[in-house]
Structure 1
């Protein structure tokens, strides 16, 4: 999830360049209402967005019983937000601009299996 259109499409292009399928959402609320939570292999989300934050979205997913792997990106790497995300089980909190090799590494850890569902972002 990314509420900035240009960044969302840039991240989509990057993830697709790794041969991964993607689903794009402009907000946490849009993703939660999409019906795609159960068939998403990994979520790549900004922490700070208009409306619901990425962390609040992750907490809602956990409440609903979804333990989908989460990768967060942020332009504002505050310790308390990183700590909260990691306490909730996030795989990583990455600072923007994100190194493409770092994204590739994390996605490979999560997705390299016989079945590769889409990455929501």
Structure 2
């Protein structure tokens, strides 16, 4: 794992974490994986994260709650939420809170990469 990862993948599903990390590795991006929002918050390298990919539904804190907690703490990280359970109300709430992208699993690799690019550039995806 790189010393200073720029993208964090937070998902309780190991296969999703591994697949996303493999995709980012193949795109030349450095990434770190976490199995929960709590483990991400306890990590020491959060200051180096430029983009957060988080699962919407996880035991404990959800991806949206993690996004909100970071923003409330004054350390917002551009966030891409992913979910296997599409819910329009949650989508609207996420976008209103500043989430860059909201992808439904299974998502296309190019869609995730476009969202990461938008997040790291600091604007909405095209």
Q: Which TM-score tier does this pair reach, normalised by the shorter chain?
A: 0.7 to 0.9
TM-score by length of 1: 0.87
Question: Are residue 59 (structure 1) and residue 94 (structure 2) matched?
Answer: no
The residue aligned with 1:28 is 37
Alignment of 1:78-117 (within 5 A): 78-111=87-120
Matched-pair contact (CA < 8 Å) for 2:79–2:119: no
Aligned-pair CA distance for 1:111: 3.3
Identify which of 7, 12, 18 aligns with 1:9: 18
What SS does structure 2 have at the residue aligned with 1:48? coil
Identify which of 64, 71, 79 aligns with 1:70: 79
What SS does structure 2 have at the residue aligned with 1:24? strand
What SS does structure 1 have at the residue aligned with 2:28? coil
Moved over 3 A (4+): none
Q: Which has the higher contact order (CA 8 A, sep 6+)?
A: 1
TM-score by length of 2: 0.84
Identify which of 23, 28, 32 aligns with 1:19: 28
Unaligned 5+ runs, structure 2: 1-9, 122-126
| Cα separation, 1, equivalents of 2:120 and 2:96 | 22
